[in-house]
Structure formats: structure tokens, C-alpha cells
Amino acid sequence: MGSQLRALIKTAIFTIFIPGTVAVYVPYRLTRGAIAQPPSDRIGVLALLPILFGIGVHLYSAWHFAVTGLGTPAPIDPPKTLVVRGPYRLTRNPLYVGVVSVLFGEALMVRSLTLTEYAAAVFLAFYAFVLVYEEPVLRDKFGAAYAEYCAKVPRWI
């Protein structure tokens, strides 16, 4: 099996378990299943936009991790090369942007303050993880290439 295919399979497994838990299972539990219902009004339908955007950004970004970087979004199996293609040209953290977009879309769709607070907490956790772990590790691993990338591309949007 080729390294790209292996990376894609591992990325799919990671995506099902980690972002799937954060953006699907926990919101489902917090809203007592309300997010599983089709939207019933215009605001609910409009809320599908950030949800679909987030899913697309996340999947496209994960694809690049596997195909370009030959790794996964999991910290235990990161890309072997610095990924600066696709959505990584616009933000250094498109995977997190995708998940948070889904969460805020879900919160809007069901008008849930609890889910809005959860989405904010997830964003803050992602932010802290990026500052404390990811960026220092990437600086050590990729050196000047990562510093140049950081100078050109914003952390979030």
C-alpha cells in the first residue's frame, strides 16, 4: 500500500473519531439530538452555510495533510513535509477553522446558547494548543521554512 493511501486511511480514521466527536457527537448530546433534525426556518437553512463550509475546509485540509504531507492531523503522526497548499495558503489552521465553523453553524441552526459556549470553548482550546504545542513543534521541525510561512500566512483568518 502506498504512503499516500496509508495516510488517507489514517486521516479518515482520525477524522471520524476526533473531529467527529468534537463536532458531531458532543453537539448531538448537548442539544439532545436537535442538530440531527432538518432545519425548520430560514435561519436554520442559512446555518447550513458555515456547517458545509467547515466540513469542506476540514476535509480538503485533511486531504492535503495526507497527500502532500504524507501524514495525518493527529499529533502522533504529523505530516512529514510542511503543507502550504490549498487552504493552508490562507490560514495556518484550516482544520480548526473548519471544526469551529461547523460548531457555530450548528449552534445557530438550533439556537443553542450551550452549543455556542461549547464552540467558543473549543476554539479557545484549539488556540491554546496551537500556541503551546503546535507552533513550537513546527518551528523546531521545519525551521526557517515555517518562520517564512508564518510571516506570510495568518494563524486564523
Distance CA 27, CA 73 (A): 21
**pLDDT at residue 54, as a whole number:** 98
The domains found in the chain, sorted by start residue, are 3-152 (1.20.120.1630)
Distance CA 135, CA 30 (A): 31
pTM: 0.94
Single out the residue of 42, 147, 143, 60 nearest to residue 101, CA to CA: 60
Using DSSP's 3-state secondary structure scheme, residue 41 falls into: coil
Q: Quick: pLDDT tens for 50-73.
A: 999 999 999 999 999 999 999 899
Residue 123 has pLDDT above 70, yes or no: yes
Q: Helix/strand/coil (H, E, C) string of 135-151?
A: HHHHHHHHHHHHHHHHH
**pLDDT at residue 107, as a whole number:** 97
